Amino acid sequence: MDVTFCDRFSFDADSVHFAVELRAPGLTARVDEVVAWIWDSDLTTFLEGLAAEYRGWDGERSWQTNDRDLSLSAVFRSGGHV
According to the model, what pLDDT value does residue 40 have? 65
Q: Report domain extents, the chain.
A: 2-75
3-state DSSP assignment of residue 43: helix
According to the model, what pLDDT value does residue 29 have? 95
Task: State the sign of the Cα–Cα–Cα–Cα dihedral 49, 22, 24, 27.
Answer: positive
pLDDT, tens only, 21-66:
999 999 999 999 888 887 766 888 888 998 898 888 899 999 988 8
Residue 26, amino acid:
G
Residues 49 and 61: beta-carbon distance below 8 Å = yes
